[in-house]
């Protein structure tokens, strides 16, 4: 038989879990609305479809945008609604993340990749491509790794011109799949500017 102390402890733990779920759910829903609103402002899609991932940890979106064969977006958030798993996710995932994938109607005629140095594993396989030259540099306060083909260096320099803060973890454009992609953390204040700048550049070069 459960004594009064055990009952109080179990009830208190249950209340913590419930309130934690409600509070975390509210934060994630608000964040997803804010992000989707900004994305729709930037891309002005003619149509859009959203699919939730795992209930409250993110969404996949497909936008219909003029000049693109497709525009796919994946947002993954920390499980703030789960008090038990949230601390673990802070050690593993650490950040809310966003990936934007552009399908280009035409080949831009170049290929380049830009990755934060500490996330250079993202281009570890691409580095093996003999067509691409590797370089390193500083953009704002970030050390970065570059990969580019013969025409990609000029295009990459044009894209980075005037950039004070990187705002993304990885950006690439061109290649065999005629695509572009940007990966960023949502705790970086400049992520909106980074996506908007990438969208304008892609429209200019392959729209």
Q: Of all residues in the chain, what percent carry a pLDDT higher than 70?
A: 81
* Range scoring the smallest mean pLDDT among 10-19, 41-50, 95-104, 142-151: 10-19
pLDDT for 6: 60
Read off the pLDDT of residues 69-87 as tens digits, 9 standing for 90 and up: 999 999 998 766 555 455 5
Cβ–Cβ contacts within 10 Å for residue 195, how many? 22
Q: What is the pTM of this model?
A: 0.84
Q: Give the pLDDT band of residue 164 (cuts 50, 70, 90).
A: confident
Q: What is the rounded distance in angstroms from the CA atom of residue 127 to the CA atom of residue 120?
A: 10
Read off the pLDDT of residues 90-109 as tens digits, 9 standing for 90 and up: 555 578 899 999 999 999 99
Number of domains in the chain: 1
From residue 83, alpha-carbon distances to 54, 111, 118, 145, 198 in Å are 16, 43, 29, 37, 36
What value does the mean pLDDT take over residues 100-123?
94
Quote the domain boundaries for residue 14: 4-206
Structure-token pair, residue 177: 């799949």
pLDDT for 14: 55
Q: What is the rounded distance in angstroms from the CA atom of residue 169 to the CA atom of residue 86?
A: 23
Does residue 25 have a pLDDT over 60? yes
Greater confidence (174 vs 10) lies with: 174
């Amino acid at each position: 038989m459960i004594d009064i102390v055990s009952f109080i402890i179990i009830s208190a733990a249950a209340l913590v879990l419930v309130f934690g779920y409600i509070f975390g759910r509210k934060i994630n829903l608000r964040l997803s609305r804010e992000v989707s609103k900004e994305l729709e402002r930037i891309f002005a899609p003619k149509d859009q479809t959203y699919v939730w991932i795992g209930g409250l940890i993110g969404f996949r979106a497909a936008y219909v945008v003029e000049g693109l064969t497709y525009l796919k977006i994946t947002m993954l958030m920390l499980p703030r609604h789960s008090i038990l798993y949230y601390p673990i996710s802070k050690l593993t995932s650490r950040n809310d993340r966003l990936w934007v994938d552009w399908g280009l109607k035409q080949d831009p005629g170049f290929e380049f990749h830009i990755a934060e140095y500490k996330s250079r594993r993202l281009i570890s396989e691409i580095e093996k491509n003999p067509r691409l030259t590797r370089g390193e540099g500083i953009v704002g306060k970030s050390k970065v790794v570059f990969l580019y083909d013969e025409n990609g260096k000029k295009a990459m320099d044009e894209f980075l011109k005037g950039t004070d803060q990187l705002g993304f973890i990885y950006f690439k454009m061109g290649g065999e799949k005629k695509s572009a992609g940007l990966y960023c953390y949502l705790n970086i204040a400049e992520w909106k500017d980074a996506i908007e700048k990438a969208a304008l550049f892609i429209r200019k070069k392959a729209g």
